[in-house]
Structure formats: structure tokens, C-alpha cells
Structure 1
Amino acid sequence: MSSEAAIAVAMFTVADQDSAVAFYTGTLGWEVRMDVNWGAGADAGRWVEVAPVGSTARLAVNPPMGGEPGGGSIGIEVADLVAEKARLQAVGLDVANEMPAGGPVPAMFSVNDPDGNWIWVVQAG
């Protein structure tokens, strides 16, 4: 596959897709990029993708395939890390793992979604 044809889609497992969509759109301010159902009965499924506004990368939120939801990690870049931290704290999220910039590593911090997936917020270079 050529790199120009590749589009990043990360996947998180979540306990409830509707609750996850509400968190990502309502709390984080992301947008729904795709929400489709397929099949019927026991074979029915749903594919939901969310993304930060303007991002080319997308995040699929899916029921777990055996086991518990959570445990995933994704990084998103922001132009103003300080402003994004203040915004996320204002909507009630706990900011953790704050790391200052050092050498080639940009400043960043993390927040968790309700299922325990990690969202790393990274200062854009």
C-alpha cells in the first residue's frame, strides 16, 4: 500500500458505543465521521468513527471482541497545549502524566475516556 493512499484509523474498545460517541463529541468536541449499521440479528454490527475537527486521522469506537473494553491509546496534536489543557479541565476531565518538552520529545499530557482508553494531547511542532 502506498503511503499516499493510507489514512490512519485507530480503534478503541468501549462498553457502549452511544456513550462513547457522547463523550467524544460532547466532552471532547470531536465530530462523528461515520456511523453505519450492518447485518441483522446475531450478525448485526455497527461501525462508528469520531475525530477531532479538521483531523485526517479517525478513531473507531467498537465493542470489545472478548475481554473488557479500554486499554487503548491515541495521540492528538494541538496548536496550543496550555489552552487545550484548560479547556479539558473546564469540562471536568482529569489531566494526568504531564510531560514537559525535552530534546526531540514535545510537551504532552493525557486524559482518559470513560472506558479507560488513553488520549495523549501533544503540542504540535
Structure 2
Amino acid sequence: MRINITSLYVADQQQALDFYTRVLGFEVKHDVPVGDGARWLTLVSPEDPDGTELLLEPMGHPAAAVFCEALYADGLPFTQFEVSDIEAEYRRLLDLGVVFSMEPTEAGPVTVAVLDDTCGHWIQLIQP
């Protein structure tokens, strides 16, 4: 058994698609209309195109919005992405205007940083 898809709730799939592809560098794996303007929209890392997919899930259930707003208000990351050089990625993203709530910080055996994805989530970057 392995994880093949993980979801990220988004209010606007197109806005999320723009940020996650143009800024973070993910690539579209599936983009299939599913009705009412929603899409089955998954992304993958160009470093692992057959790896785990990130589903930009429409925020259709009322509890999803409450959950996401609470995490964001508390400054808690929704999910985590691994990078090989967190300092370089941090500088690259700063140059693109990305806002960070935490700059690269050593935390035991890892270095972490936390960014705002412009879609209502804090996302943690980690370098082992």
C-alpha cells in the first residue's frame, strides 16, 4: 500500500493551479472537468512524475472552509513538501513575491520554512 493522492482544499482551482505550477513548479497530471465548473485537477513534482499526486480539491463541503480557516488563523501548515536545498528555494520564492511566516530554521535533523500559498494555507517546506 502507498499514498497515491493527497488533497488540498481550495476555493478557486484556477488560482491554486497558477500558484502551484507557475510559482512552486509542480506539473499538471490530470485536469478533467467533473461538472459545475469543478475539475479533477492533480499535480505532480517534475522530479517524480509518477509519484504522489496533489489533488486541488474544490472546497465543496462547508466543514472544509472552517477547517482550512482555523489552521491558517493558527499558523499551522496544511501540508509539507520536501526540497533538496531549502535556502536556494527560499530565495527563489522570495524573488517571486512569496510570503513566508517562517524563514529557513533548523529544527533538529531538518530545516523548515513556512510559506503562504495565496489560497488560504500555510505550507511547510522541509530539507532533511
Match of 1:12 among 8, 22, 37: 8
Give the gaps of 5 or more residues in structure 1. none
> Are the equivalent residues in 1 in contact too, given 2:3–2:52 (CA < 8 A)?
yes
* Counterpart code for 1:97: M
Within-5 A mapping of 1:31-42: 31-38=27-34, 40=35
Q: 1:66-100 deviations in whole A, cap 9, x for unaligned?
A: 25274461111111111000000000001222353
In the alignment, is residue 109 of structure 1 matched against residue 113 of structure 2?
A: yes
Larger Rg: 1 or 2?
Answer: 1
Match of 1:53 among 34, 46, 49: 46
Runs (4+) of structure 1 moved beyond 3 Å? 69-72
Distance between the aligned counterparts of 2:118 and 2:107, measured in 1?
30
Q: 1:1-41 deviations in whole A, cap 9, x for unaligned?
A: x3xxx134221111111111011111212111111123x5x
> Are the equivalent residues in 2 in contact too, given 1:10–1:74 (CA < 8 A)?
no
Instruction: State, as a whole percentage, how many aligned pairs show the same letter.
Output: 30
Match of 1:92 among 88, 97, 100: 97
CA RMSD of aligned residues (A): 2.2
In the alignment, is residue 29 of structure 1 matched against residue 33 of structure 2?
A: no
Q: Show the counterpart of 1:119.
A: 123
- Where 1:35 maps in the other structure, the secondary structure is strand
Distance between the aligned counterparts of 2:104 and 2:6, measured in 1?
23
Give the gaps of 5 or more residues in structure 2. 72-76
> Are the equivalent residues in 2 in contact too, given 1:31–1:53 (CA < 8 A)?
yes
> Are the equivalent residues in 1 in contact too, given 2:28–2:42 (CA < 8 A)?
yes
> Are the equivalent residues in 1 in contact too, given 2:87–2:104 (CA < 8 A)?
no
- Give the TM-score normalised by the residue count of structure 1: 0.78
- Where 1:107 maps in the other structure, the secondary structure is strand
- Give the TM-score normalised by the residue count of structure 2: 0.77
Distance between the aligned counterparts of 1:109 and 1:52, measured in 2?
19
